[in-house]
Amino acid sequence: MTAIESRWLGAEKDQSGSLLDRVMAAREYPMDPRGRELLNAPRANLLHQARTLPGATAVAERLESAVRAGRRVAIYGDYDADGITATAILWRVIKAARADANVCFYVPDRIDEGYGLNDTALETLAADDVKTVVTVDCGASAVAPSRRARELGLELLITDHHHVDPGCAAEAIATAHPALPGRETAPFVDLCGAAVSFKVASEFARLWCGGENVAAVLKDALMACIPLVAVGSIADVVPLVDENRVFVARGLATIQSVEVAGLRALLDDAELEKGRRVDASDVGFRLGPRLNAVGRLGHAKEAVELLITDDPARARAIVKTLAELNEQRREMDRAYFEQACARIDADPAIADAGAIVLADERWHEGVVGIVAAKISERHGKPAILMALRGDGTAKGSGRSIEGIDILAAVKRVASDLMIRGGGHAYALGLTVRTEDVPEFARRVSSECAALASGGAVGPVRRYDAEAEPAEMTATELKPLEILRPFGRGNPEPAFLIRNVRPVAAPTLFGSAKNHVEFFLPGGSRCIWWSAVDRSSVVRQGVPIDLIVKPSIEVYRGVRRVQLVVQDVRASQTR
């Protein structure tokens, strides 16, 4: 089965002006003084003061008191890239303040413990003489564990950016969160866990030094952590606007020069040598997956150690392990995708269902979410993949499409079947009993089918503006560079080119001959990745419409325009 056709959506605004003018008009970039600064020079002074984050000062005061008194402090993180970087940030700043600080970290095992705070971990920390536990990227909804921490006599400090359960905030000694119930929200709320950790660490540094005149060693430690915030932000796919634009722009600009042994080892392993500009895509596709892989297939404590060690040799050894796990993850990803596609293609009942729900004993629960995203994109409908475990449960992840809130849909019709579950509109994680998988699949598929019949749902290809082939030149495209870094909330500019005739028949390339190359009038090279099954729509001299993301590539020392094709269709009349 080939990928489902997407709906094309674009701005209906004035198409005059340069390519940059059109993109900025379509996206309605704010052009007040702060907006202009964020666009032209996203410097660190554009970050909102740390004390404006609700609860940051209260958490930092408790943390500063604990460190100064020599009490044992545990930083309790999460096993994904955001949680890993958040843990490292707080650790590095505390150690910069006091090298002999009695601080440790704890990251739960993804398979054995699952996400967030848990009673057993807190009991282990209490037995290890920990007095203060500060969470990063987790804890805001862990009501029962928060209560257990209080019973154990632990001082629980929460820093998080996920949904807050008011009961949890009530149990904790202090909570830092961009949108804390009962408090005025932060000036910008869409921060990742690493950014929240950085804000708390900044307040800790200010309090440690008794005022605004922060010691140079702490200033240096904070600046060295901005690339870690950038990695966490990109990996957690937060919108790259406002403060996140500052964190990521500054972090990427300095990532090659900061003295963090683990970052240097990651960059070297990813072949991002010194002097080369590191883009958000490099973090998203090279660095982030290496950090995430160890949490999926190993234990994320190794990734935390990578980012806090000052030993280059140890950092290189850890990165070697991470790279091996990431390659293993990629192989599993490919195998699971092929297995899932084979099952779907062999069974029309699965392919035609409102949602694709599959479970398999061969699958690893740490990888199925990545495959679910690919299955959802391929079939244009929600997909939930689960690993069948030996304890009689199935644990997995789901991904959805525009128009269907998968978490709400599952909760509406199958909450009684879930042992555990959570997420958001486009992604969820869940555990159900193995015996309930067929009924779960039936209910969720039926609900998603009903939702799909009630409105416009399915895959969408968006473009910013229309353009002509003659505009796809290095001169016209260069001004678009000011919009970097690209990511969620600020994607690479995409353009609709109408009624253009390829100058020659397409050719296939790649080891599997599954990528498509063709050329437009004027010489622009079009690359359409993994599109061999749709290549017949591209024919010499036959008019097509296409959505492209343009870039400048250097090929054999020559700069040329490359258009990465997002979608193609036979030309439509205006």
Q: Are residues 431 and 470 in the same domain?
A: no
Rg (CA), the chain: 25
**Cα torsion at 360, 365, 370, 376 (round to 10°)?**
40
Do 378 and 308 fall into the same domain? Answer: no
Task: Give the span between the Cα atoms of 88 and 327, in whole angstroms.
Answer: 24
Q: Are residues 271 and 402 in the same domain?
A: no
CA–CA dist 173, 181 (Å, integer): 15
Q: Are residues 374 and 267 in the same domain?
A: no
Per-residue pLDDT of the chain (574 residues), as tens digits, is 445 678 899 977 667 899 999 999 999 888 899 999 999 989 999 999 999 999 999 999 999 999 999 999 999 999 999 999 999 999 999 999 999 999 999 999 888 888 889 999 999 999 999 999 999 999 998 899 999 999 999 999 999 998 888 887 788 999 999 998 888 899 999 999 999 999 999 999 999 999 889 999 999 999 999 999 999 999 998 999 999 999 999 999 999 999 899 999 999 999 998 888 999 999 999 999 999 999 888 889 999 999 999 999 999 999 999 999 999 999 999 999 999 999 999 999 999 999 999 999 999 998 999 999 999 988 989 999 999 999 999 999 999 988 899 999 999 999 999 998 887 788 888 999 999 999 999 999 999 999 888 666 667 899 999 999 999 998 999 999 999 999 999 999 999 999 999 999 999 999 889 899 999 998 889 999 988 888 999 999 999 999 999 988 877 777 788 999 999 999 986 5
Asked if 414 and 478 sit in the same domain, the reply is no
Same domain, 380 and 469: no
| Position 330 in a domain | no
Is 248 a domain residue? yes
Q: Let me know if residue 339 belongs to a domain.
A: no
- What length is written for the chain? 574
Residue position matching structure tokens 């069948």: 388
Percent of the chain whose predicted confidence (pLDDT) is above 70: 97
Q: Which residue, of 453, 488, 516, is where some domain finishes?
A: 453
Rounded to whole angstroms, how far apart are CA atoms 99 and 370?
A: 40
Residue that terminates a domain, selected from 453, 488, 517:
453
Q: Is residue 412 assigned to a domain?
A: yes
150 plus 195 within the same structural domain: yes
SS3 category, 419: strand
| Cβ neighbours for 413, distance < 8 A, ≥ 6 positions apart | 443, 444, 446, 447
Is 118 in the same domain as 210? yes
Q: Give residue 1's pLDDT.
A: 46
Assess whether 354 and 490 both reside in one domain: no
Are residues 358 and 429 located together in one domain of the fold?
yes
HSE-CB of 16 using CA atoms within 13 angstroms: 1
Q: Do residues 132 and 274 share a domain?
A: yes
Residue whose entry in the numeric block shows the structure tokens 């010499």: 540
Is position 317 within any domain? yes
**Residue 491 belongs to some domain of the structure:** yes
Q: Please tell me the total count of domains within the chain.
A: 3
Give the pTM. 0.91
Range of the domain at 435: 347-453
CATH of residue 411's domain is 3.10.310.30
Q: What is the pLDDT of residue 455?
A: 64
Residue 44 within a domain: no
The alpha-helical segments, DSSP class H, found in 236-357 are: 242-254, 261-269, 280-282, 288-297, 301-308, 312-346, 348-351
The string over 120-141, giving b where at least 16 C-beta atoms fall within 10 Å of a residue's C-beta and e elsewhere, is ebbeebbeeebbbbbbbbbbbb
Domain final residue, candidates 290, 324, 358: 324
Domain membership of residue 193 (yes or no) is yes
Write the CATH number for 160.
3.90.1640.30
3-state secondary structure at position 14: coil
Element containing residue 358 per DSSP (H, E): strand 356-360
DSSP structure class, residue 189: -
Instruction: Give the angle subtended at the CA of 403 by the CAs of 458 and 496, to the nearest 5°.
Output: 55
Q: Rounded to whole angstroms, how far apart are CA atoms 93 and 95?
A: 5
Give the per-residue SS3 of 497-533: EEEECCCCCCEEECCCCCEEEEECCCCCEEEECCCHH
- Give the model's pLDDT for residue 574: 53
Residues 294 and 420 in one domain: no
Q: Please list the residues that pair with 508 across neighbouring strands.
A: 516
